[in-house]
Structure 1
Amino acid sequence: MVTCVLFEKTKIGPIMTNTQLLLLATNNVKNNTELSHSQASYVYQYYYANVANKFLSVKDFMKEFIKLTKPALESEQDLQILSLRIYSEIENYLGAAQTRFIQRQKLLQK
């Protein structure tokens, strides 16, 4: 389990990397744990920095994300077995972040 995670520093604060998002989902799947509120905030920032206004959909982003991160999961057999669940979990996290992003955009337009 990852206990310390370093984040990239950007204008909007610390942002998760692809590897950190993969580790977060892997740990949550392995431990059968829900996404915490603070983790959801980091996922939202990740979505804002890497997905929003750059990809047409979360599914489009996931295709690219899987290409980039698949070798990491294929390197260990137990992770390879869990890979579909891990990627599904990441897609769920980003889907929730997308919903939150759209809601915020609507509020800002009012």
Structure 2
Amino acid sequence: TCLESIWPYYTKRVNKCPSDAAFEEAENNKIVDALQININLDEMKSCLAQGFPFVFGLELYKSFDKADEKGIVPMPKSRETKRESHGSHAMLAVGYNDRAKSFIVRNSWGD
């Protein structure tokens, strides 16, 4: 993956091929080795505490679009429907907040 400063996310060009500079930069940021972890809170927190972020997949609900200014996404309501577009999505967990009982994640859609 290249740095966002080289190929920023813009919705209007989401289906366009990145620039040559983006591909060149991405060569420096390849995943060399990967492991699988179980869906277990202690195991996920341990992984993060050891300095290893992890990728996870989830189903997006309409509440995903209601993130506040700090980027906090509310839990979906029991009767809430899934988003029709981008219903399944992957993100990167980079930390955990014990007090808030929430993961700190990075989304591929930019800021």
- TM value normalised by structure 1: 0.28
More helix by share: 1
TM score, norm. by length of structure 2:
0.28
Taking CA–CA contacts closer than 8 Å with sequence separation of 6 or more, which of the two structures ends up with the larger relative contact order?
Answer: 1
* Bigger proportion of residues as strand: 2
